[in-house]
Every structure is written in structure tokens, then in C-alpha cells.
Amino acid sequence: MSIRRLLIANRGEIALRIHRAAHEMGIETVAVHSTADAEAMHVRLADHAVCIGPPAARDSYLNVAAIISAAEITQADAIHPGYGFLSENAKFAEIVEAHDITWIGPKPEHIRTMGDKVEAKRTAGALGLPLVPGSDGAVSEIGEARRIAAEIGYPVIIKAASGGGGRGMKVCTGPDEFETLIQQAGSEAKAAFGDATVYIEKYLGNPRHIEFQIFGDGKGKAIHLGERDCSLQRRHQKVLEEAPSPVISNNDRNHMGGIVAKAMADMGYRGAGTIEFLWEDGKFYFIEMNTRLQVEHPVTEAITGVDLVREQIRIADGLPLSVTQDDIEFKGHAIECRINAEDPWNFTPSPGAVTNYHAAGGMHVRVDSGLYAGYKIPPYYDSMIAKLIVYGRTREGCIMRLKRALEEMVIEGPKTSIPLHQALLKEPDFLSGDYTIKWLEEWLANRIG
């Protein structure tokens, strides 16, 4: 291992997660933080800490010059970007590499390709992944767009090539509203992302969100670590994730996993990645690829026993994958609850002082969080404050243990989404695994309405 000191360009639980993997590998860590995060747990635990700017993310966690300077001052020889912030910024990856610092992430050209949704879809199609039927690339001329929409069949979804985070999408139910919607989509995309490019896809009525974790060594070898089911979403934000998916058979996992691993091997992909699919009536449809670690990665770790962050660091260091496809065994079941500092029913953020904190424990219970009693949750960032990940030999056993663990969690001060998870775990549809990406919002609407 040639990496000796790793700078973590992130905050919160993921900064802690990366710190832990690094220390377990004998690597020193450098925390960077905004003035609002001076008292954060990742700053306390890291070997070195550098303040990189004021609270607003654009001045600190997105401040490339300040982060590179921090790496140079502390003589860090590697940077891990975590998720969000600069993790999918190809330019940042190039700047890191240009400074002779090891970038713990995919090759910049792959980040760039997959960050453009039209390019990503074209690449995925060329690599043999099944696509949602739609336009072959961007659409610009209205007559042609109309013809394509009619050919695909309504409803269709108009998507911005540069969209992300669930934004820049419009569902169109019929030809009458098509022209208005496509024009709106283009001008909104231009305003929000600086790029008016849009494309058209068949709108799937009631799919599940199923994603595959993959790993490549950058030299033509790649493996998959099975799927995660992330269908429980609100406003396209994941709330609870599980692995394996209750609806994917061993055969389907091995088959689709083999296809995605081969695609990544052919591409020469390096590091961790996630291939996202919509799944309906037993068929997979590629929607996008995330070229980074995901929030929900621990459920995959729980059922495979592979430390994904350790693997990322090893690959960035030029080492081979530590496991082969044949070594990967899927054992048991894991569920992650994202715990947010917010009102569990109306989702208003609830930052502020944590007066009391006690994390759940016991066999097969993992809490990834930077919380401690006396910590003040700053109002400037994402509201996720903890992840509770529970493993069981069976899905039923996992759910029983998860209920027990949620009862034990104490977070006093802010409101949290714990009551939402507790209510969810009582729902017959959840217990039977019978839910799609629409389910949670409909359930919430019925509870409130």
C-alpha cells in the first residue's frame, strides 16, 4: 500500500465511514471542514483537520482550490470524495490527478460519460444493457420528437440530459400536451442545468428501483456484488433500502449481475459503481449509472462481507480486486433505514442541538453516524444524521431485529424520521415485500388524507 495519508473531501457519516476504513488499513486521515462543522465527529477523529471555508457548501465542500491546498499543506497523497459534493465531478478528479494525488474514484472520462444521461444511455446500450425504450439520444426538432413519442406510446417521460437528483423530468400522458411540455422541459433544463438538451423515454407505470453494485479494477476485470432494492422513495429520495431485493431470484441476479459485470469489464471501469435499473414485470431497464459510493452501500457489505471502502482504496492504489466473482456469496438479508433530522410526517427539517444520544447495538446491528450528545446539527446540509443497518439470516429475522434496534435508538432534541420507519415496518405490503417506487408516497398521502 503506497497511500499513507488520505484526505476526506466530505462530512457527516460518510466522512466517518471513510476514516474508519483508512485507519483499519493503517492510513492516516485528514478531515476538511466548514466553520459550521468545527465540532463534527469526523474532525475530532481524523489525524489532521483543515478548515476550508464558511458554511455554504459552494465555499467549502465544493471549494476545489481550498481542498487541493489542504491536501498540499497536509501532504495528503490521496483524496476520497465520498458521495454528493465533488464525487461525480470529472474536472475535480482531473485536478486531483494533475496534482499527483491519488483519486479514489473512477477514471475521469467515465465520470464524465455517465454524468451526461444521453451519453450514459448510449454507452450502456452499446455495452449490452437493456434500456427503457425511447429516443436514440437527444431530441431537438418538435416534429421528430412527436413522431418518436407516438412510436414509443404514451405516457412518455421527457428528461434533461444534465438532470439529476430527481429533477428535470416531465411526464406526458398524451399528444395534446406534448408540445407544451417538451418546450417547458427544455427551458427549465436550460435554467437549472445550463443545458437545454432533452430526451424521451417510455414512462413505466409502476416499477421497482433495483440497482447493482459493481467494482472494476480499471484493467479489464470487474465483478458484481448483487442488487439493492431502493423502491421506497419520497420525491425520488430513497428512504429505506434492502439487499437482496424481495423479488429478484438467484437466477435473475446471476444473469443480470453477469451482464453488468461484463459491461464494466469491457469498459475498463475502475472502482465502485452502481448501475440503476427500473424493474417491471420481470424485466430490467437501465436508467443511469452512479460513478461513486452510494449511501446504501452497507446493505451490500452486510450480505457479502466485502468492505467496499477498503476495496475502493485498494483499487485506487493499483492493487487487484481482493475477491473474485466466485468468492462472492450472498448470505442472509440486510435493511438500512435512513434517519433524518426532520418531522417524520411533514418532512420539515429539524436541525439544532442533540441533547441526548444513544445508538442501538447488539448482534448484527450497525449505526453509521457522526452524532453525539451535545452535537449541534447545522442547518446548511443534508438532513440525514444516521444510518441504521441491520442484518438477519432471513428477511423476517432482519425485520424483527430492525424493530428492536429502532426501539433502542435515542436521539433527543431534533425530530427524526424514526417514527416513520417504525410505522413502515408494520405495513403488510412492506412485510410481504410487495411495493414499488409509487408505494411510499401513496401510503403517506393516505395517512395524511
Catalytic residue ranges: 292
Of 437, 56, 404, 383, whose CA–CA distance to 211 is shortest? 437
The footprint of ligand ADP on residues 140-179 (CB under 6 A) is 157, 163-167
3-class DSSP state of 250: helix
Residue 14 interacts with ligand ADP (CB under 6 A)?
no
269, 114 contact by CB (below 8 A): no
Helix (H) or strand (E) holding 160: strand 156-164
Angstrom CA distances, 15 to 79, 92, 268, stand at 12, 18, 28
The footprint of ligand ADP on residues 228-257 (CB under 6 A) is 236
Q: State residue 341 phi and psi, 5-degree precision.
A: -85, 90
Q: Please count the residues of this chain forming the interface with ligand ADP, following the rule CB under 6 A.
A: 18
Q: How many CB atoms lie within 10 A of CB 288?
A: 18
The footprint of ligand ADP on residues 82-141 (CB under 6 A) is 132
The footprint of ligand ADP on residues 386-405 (CB under 6 A) is none
Residue 276 interacts with ligand ADP (CB under 6 A)?
yes
Smallest gap, in angstroms, from Cβ of residue 276 to ligand ADP? 6
Task: Collect all residues with Cβ–Cβ distance below 8 Å to 127 and sequence separation of at least 6.
Answer: 263, 266, 267
Which residue stretch of 15-23, 142-150, 197-205, 326-334 sits at the interface with ligand ADP (rule: CB under 6 A)?
197-205
Residue nearest to ligand ADP (CB): 204
Residue 52 interacts with ligand ADP (CB under 6 A)?
no
Chosen residue from 71, 196, 437, 440 binding ligand ADP by CB under 6 A:
437
Residue 203 interacts with ligand ADP (CB under 6 A)?
yes
- How big is the CA angle at 322 (ends 221 and 274), to the nearest 5 degrees? 60
Residue 210 interacts with ligand ADP (CB under 6 A)?
no
Smallest gap, in angstroms, from Cβ of residue 220 to ligand ADP? 27
- How big is the CA angle at 210 (ends 205 and 216), to the nearest 5 degrees? 140
Residue 68 interacts with ligand ADP (CB under 6 A)?
no
Q: Rounded distance, CA 277 to CA 176, Å?
A: 29
Smallest gap, in angstroms, from Cβ of residue 207 to ligand ADP? 6
Nearer to ligand ADP, 41 or 204 (CB): 204
Side chain identity, residue 300: T
Residue 211 interacts with ligand ADP (CB under 6 A)?
no
Nearer to ligand ADP, 70 or 260 (CB): 260
Residue 287 interacts with ligand ADP (CB under 6 A)?
yes
232, 239 contact by CB (below 8 A): yes
Residues of the shown chain interacting with ligand ADP in the complex, contacts defined by CB under 6 A: 132, 157, 163-167, 201-204, 209, 236, 276, 278, 287-288, 437
